[in-house]
Amino acid sequence: MRTHVLMVHAMRTIFHIDLDAFFVAVERTLDPSLNGIPVVVGGLPGGRGVVACASYEARKYGLHAGISLGQAYRLCPHAQYIPGCFDHYLEVSRRFLGILGEYTPFMQSMGLDEAYLDMTGFESLYGSAEGIAAVMKRRVREELRVTASVGIATSRVVAKVASDACKPDGLLRVPPGQEAAFLAPRPIRELPGIGEKTEPVLKRHGLNIIGDLARTPPTTLRRILGAWGDVVWRSSQGLDDTEVAPAGDPKSISRVTTFGEDTMDLPLIRGTLRYLGERVCAEMRTHGMAARAAVLHLRWDDFTTITRHRTFPRPVRSDEAVYEAVEGLLSRELAVEARGRRRKVRLIGVGVGQLVREIGQLTLLGEEREDRLAKAVDAIREKYGYVAVQKGLTHHLRESFPEERGKYLLRTSALSR
């Protein structure tokens, strides 16, 4: 919380900074012959994947992230199609966020290539807001050889619309008091929170530009969009007091995965539970935290989903303690199931919750040894991959999951990274 700062500066200065055509931009640093031509990162044209990033030249042909490569090829056969290399993007992302972090600790990254920065009160320190933004843009261009666009406004929502509006390589400040006027003529789709589902719904009600939303009574928007209508109405006026939350301590960590096919293979289910639990615990330990609760996520083959919790009398941080808890919860569910409907398991997941900062004081000697061992294993895996150290329960997972860069490649990949 930054109450003291907010009291002094009732008006905030928020930056939204976003790299332009990020994956393509990185590819161009590696191969300058890609400059100035339509480029698509996502796979080769015959592949079954989707476009991850289309260069601005390719966007002129109607290409954009998310469409199938087949469709992209029909629209723009002469583009350069590149499979892409995620490790490169990750490295550039890390350096990008590193540069931003030099200017303010009040930063919230929203993925690899975009972040909100709360620069309230920093203007006088560096000159003007536009001046700081120009310096950031120059450093990104010189050090990373990619371009960024920056929106500056009194709130996150307006800063975001501004950075999108000035892409590529832009810098746009919406002066205080001008928020609603800036937003009003723009299409509703440019407002964060209005996606491809909401847009047609609002258009059916004759709401086409953001100004239309701003003129609509909030009760009407609530009728159309439910509780979300209030947020949309406020955003359309440029009202948004969401703070830029520095990535602080997590309150909970979880990982889930969907099996390749629904299963009742108990060693596979338990092994996966153990694997997910070890990944969750390792992440918790890197944050220096311990858990007061463990959570089991389970989805049956009929899509019924349950969440079961167990709380610990004292915070725990060992793989064993968490596994024991979720395994107990799982066994109870399986026993009930065996007597009843006998459904198969579709998805399984492990979470740790009510996280607390570890106090460093472990009462039992055995626990301390266990803790040191866990940290040593974490360090080895950090270096050589998860599969470098395997305990009995997860060893046979090798037969069920492919490996990638020393980790098991689970199916719900976005959630199990």
Comparing CA positions, the residue from 355, 156, 135 lying closest to residue 245 is 156
Instruction: Identify which of residues 58 and 210 has a Cβ nearer to ligand DCP in the complex.
Output: 58
Q: How many residues interact with Ca ion (rule CB under 5 A)?
A: 4
Q: Does 18 bind Ca ion (CB under 5 A)?
A: yes
Minimum distance, C-beta of residue 51 to Ca ion, in the bound complex (Å): 14
Out of 22, 116, 182, 408, the residue judged to bind ligand DCP by CB under 6 A? 22
Residue 145, token pair as written in the block: 């050889």
CA distance 150 to 173: 8
As a whole number of angstroms, the distance between CA 237 and CA 214 comes to 6
57, 114, 278, 327: the active-site residue? 114
The dihedral sign for the CA sequence 363, 365, 367, 369: positive
Coil, strand or helix at 357: strand
Smallest distance, Å, CB 17 to ligand DCP?
A: 11
Among 27, 113, 278, 378, binds ligand DCP (CB under 6 A): 113
CA–CA distance from 103 to each of 93, 243, 329 (Å)? 16, 17, 46
Query: Are residues 261 and 268 in contact, defined by beta-carbon separation less than 8 angstroms?
Result: no
Q: Which is nearer to ligand DCP, 117 or 345 (CB)?
A: 117
Letter string b/e over residues 191-223, b meaning 16 or more CB atoms within 10 A of that residue's CB? bbebeeebbeebeeeebebbbbbbebeeeebee
How far is 294 from 291, CA to CA, in rounded Å? 7
199's enclosing H/E stretch is: helix 198-204
Q: Which of residues 64-93 bind ligand DCP (CB under 6 A)?
A: 65-66
Residues 66-125 that bind Ca ion (CB under 5 A): 113
Stretch that binds Ca ion, among 17-25, 97-105, 267-275, 329-337 (CB under 5 A): 17-25
Q: How far is the CB of 59 from Ca ion (least distance, A)?
A: 12
Part in contact with ligand DCP (CB under 6 A); list of ranges 18-26, 95-103, 346-354, 407-415 = 18-26
Which among 14-22, 271-279, 311-319, 394-402 is the span making contact with ligand DCP, rule CB under 6 A?
Answer: 14-22
Contact region for ligand DCP (CB under 6 A) — 17-25, 308-316, 338-346, 400-408? 17-25
Catalytic-residue membership of 114? yes
269 interface partner picked from Ca ion, ligand DCP, none, CB below 5 to 8 A per type? none
Residues pairing with 14 in the sheet:
118, 153
According to the binding rule CB under 5 A, does residue 327 interact with Ca ion? Answer: no
Rule CB under 6 A: which of 246-275 touch ligand DCP? none
| Residues 333, 308: Cα–Cα separation, whole Å | 9
Give the C-alpha separation, 190 to 210, whole Å. 8
Residue 53 binds ligand DCP, judged by CB under 6 A: yes
Four-CA torsion 253, 383, 42, 58, nearest 10 degrees? 100
Per-residue binding letters, 347-386, with ligand DCP (x by CB under 6 A)? ----------------------------------------
Site string for ligand DCP, 153-182 (x = CB under 6 A): --------------xx--------------
The residue (of 141 and 396) whose beta carbon lies closer to Ca ion is 141
Q: Are 297 and 348 in contact (CB under 8 A)?
A: yes
Question: Which of 19, 34, 159, 410 is in the footprint of ligand DCP by CB under 6 A?
Answer: 19
The values of phi and psi at residue 16, to 5°, are -120, 120
Among 23, 73, 233, 386, interactor with ligand DCP by CB under 6 A = 23
Report long-range pairs for 1-10 (Cβ below 8 Å, ≥24 apart): 2/106, 2/118, 2/243, 5/120, 5/121, 6/120, 8/121, 9/120, 9/121
* Alpha carbon of residue 202 to chain centroid: 27
Comparing CB distances to ligand DCP, the nearer of 54 and 348 is 54
- The residues assigned a catalytic role are 114
Residues lying near ligand DCP in the complex (CB under 6 A): 18-23, 52-53, 65-66, 113-114, 167-168
Q: Which residues bind Ca ion (CB under 5 A)?
A: 18-19, 22, 113
